[in-house]
Amino acid sequence: MVTILAIETSCDDTSVAIVNDKKICSNVVASQNELHSHYGGIVPEVASREHLLHINYCIEKSLQIAKLNWNEIDGIAATVAPGLVGALIIGETAAKTLSMIHDKPFLGIHHLEGHIYANYLCKTDLEPPFLCLLVSGGHTSLIHVKDYEFYEELGKTRDDAAGEAFDKVARLLDLGYPGGPIIDKLATTGNPKKFNLPEGRISLPQGGYHPYDSSFSGLKTAVLRLVEKFKKEQNSLLPVADIAASFQETIVRSLTKKTIKCAIDHNIDRIAIGGGVAANSGLRNHLTKAAKKHNLKFYCPPFDLCTDNAAMIACAAANHLAKGRRSSWSLQVQSRLKISETMKLYQ
């Protein structure tokens, strides 16, 4: 069993974790949410500067909490793709430097592979093959996890990611950033059937609709029109909770339908989820019920392992290192990289 120290700085959270195989020894997360909330979204330059300010403290703290020293660490990992390049570079440079100083293997990790690995960190019997619905601020994909490192993307969003839609709708409703958790909470007090909003569908040239691909930009525009209508016609208080609940219901219904259909069509009997939107209570409830109805097994990581964290990155790195893989020190960060290309990161 290998022990990995991993660094995650792909977006706006600085995180450092130590994981022994699938056991979390420490998982330190320094969130930048409050800072970016002033701008209503992530400002990449600000995110990079913050990573730089917090990374050394997070590394020290993760060793302290795990009660481990450098001799007890077998490998050092960092998220290298996909993500904000300026932010990724901070974690990558720190990890490579530590790997040189302490003479340990360096492993570059695919961020989305990390989100999938969050599912292995929770003492479950989950093993590939399974279908993973990956829903974050930057991605919405249905991924067939064929083995621990072999992936096929079966569905994706054609425009906004699910988390992006939550964040944009929250901004329209003046709710703050990040929008997902705020809408999730507010939705519990609203009527999800109050407004009939459109589920985005992708037309196919031969007729009909794509069974697994999503589109959320139309839904976002429908919420915008609704808000404008209320402001213009009624000039009264916006029914914010009902709009939040109806929006969440629409997005969750669409994701659930596509996930279940994809699993059944591909004869996959296990479904997992990952990414920040996987923390959404509506999505977890819908998927739990739908999976039960169709006799599929459903797995979901605890809330704190859905959003960005380095424990999931360390868990993925532990698998790669245990199988004798390592990355070159000349490996560069990449803003985009398909999950099916994960193995390109290793020598």
Candidate list 169, 275, 298, 312; residue touching ligand KG4; CB under 6 A: 275
CB 81 within 8 A of CB 107: no
Give the shortest CB-39-to-ligand KG4 separation in angstroms.
Answer: 14
- By the rule CB under 6 A, 305 interacts with ligand KG4: no
DSSP letter string over 41-106? S--HHHHHHHHHHHHHHHHHHHHHHHT--GGG--EEEEEEESS-HHHHHHHHHHHHHHHHHTT--E
Residues forming beta bridges with residue 155, ordered by sequence position: 142
End-to-end CA distance of the chain: 21
CB 276 within 8 A of CB 180: yes
- By the rule CB under 6 A, 181 interacts with ligand KG4: yes
List binders of ligand KG4 among 145-174 (CB under 6 A): 163, 166-167
Read off the tokens for 324: 């004798």
- By the rule CB under 6 A, 276 interacts with ligand KG4: yes
Binding residues for Fe cation: 111, 115, 308
Binding residues: 111, 115, 134-138, 167, 180, 184, 280, 308
State how beta strands 140-147 and 130-135 pair. Answer: antiparallel
> 45 in helix, strand or coil?
helix
Binding residues for substrate: 134-138, 167, 180, 184, 280
Separation between Cα atoms, residue 111 and residue 83, nearest integer Å: 8
- By the rule CB under 6 A, 279 interacts with ligand KG4: yes
> 201 in helix, strand or coil?
coil
Give the shortest CB-106-to-ligand KG4 separation in angstroms.
Answer: 22
Separation between Cα atoms, residue 31 and residue 12, nearest integer Å: 7
240-265 and 217-229 helices, crossing angle to 10°: 160
Give the shortest CB-326-to-ligand KG4 separation in angstroms.
Answer: 25
Phi/psi of residue 338, nearest 5 degrees: -65, 145
Residues that bind Zn ion (CB under 5 A): 136, 308
Separation between Cα atoms, residue 39 and residue 7, nearest integer Å: 26
Read off the tokens for 310: 């380095």
- By the rule CB under 6 A, 308 interacts with ligand KG4: yes
Q: Which is nearer to ligand KG4, 116 or 131 (CB)?
A: 116
Give the shortest CB-187-to-ligand KG4 separation in angstroms.
Answer: 9
- By the rule CB under 6 A, 82 interacts with ligand KG4: no
Q: Is omega for the bond preceding 178 within 30 degrees of 0, making it cis?
A: yes
Q: In the sheet where 13-20 sits, what is the strand order? A: 23-31, 13-20, 3-8, 75-81, 106-110
Q: Which is nearer to Zn ion, 82 or 105 (CB)?
A: 82
Give the shortest CB-275-to-ligand KG4 separation in angstroms.
Answer: 4
Q: Which is nearer to Zn ion, 195 or 216 (CB)?
A: 216
Give the contact letters, 8-37, x = binds to ligand KG4 (CB under 6 A), - = no. Answer: ---x--------------------------
Give the shortest CB-224-to-ligand KG4 separation in angstroms.
Answer: 18
Candidate list 82, 138, 190, 192; residue touching ligand KG4; CB under 6 A: 138
Give the shortest CB-67-to-ligand KG4 separation in angstroms.
Answer: 28
Q: In the sheet where 270-274 sits, what is the strand order? A: 150-156, 140-147, 130-135, 270-274, 297-299
Q: Which stretch binds ligand KG4 (CB under 6 A): 22-30, 97-105, 118-126, 276-284?
A: 276-284
Separation between Cα atoms, residue 33 and residue 182, nearest integer Å: 12
List binders of ligand KG4 among 182-221 (CB under 6 A): 184
List binders of ligand KG4 among 219-248 (CB under 6 A): none
Give the shortest CB-116-to-Zn ion separation in angstroms.
Answer: 11
- By the rule CB under 6 A, 79 interacts with ligand KG4: no
- Residues lying near ligand KG4 in the complex (CB under 6 A) are found at 11, 136-138, 163, 166-167, 178-181, 184, 275-277, 279-280, 307-308
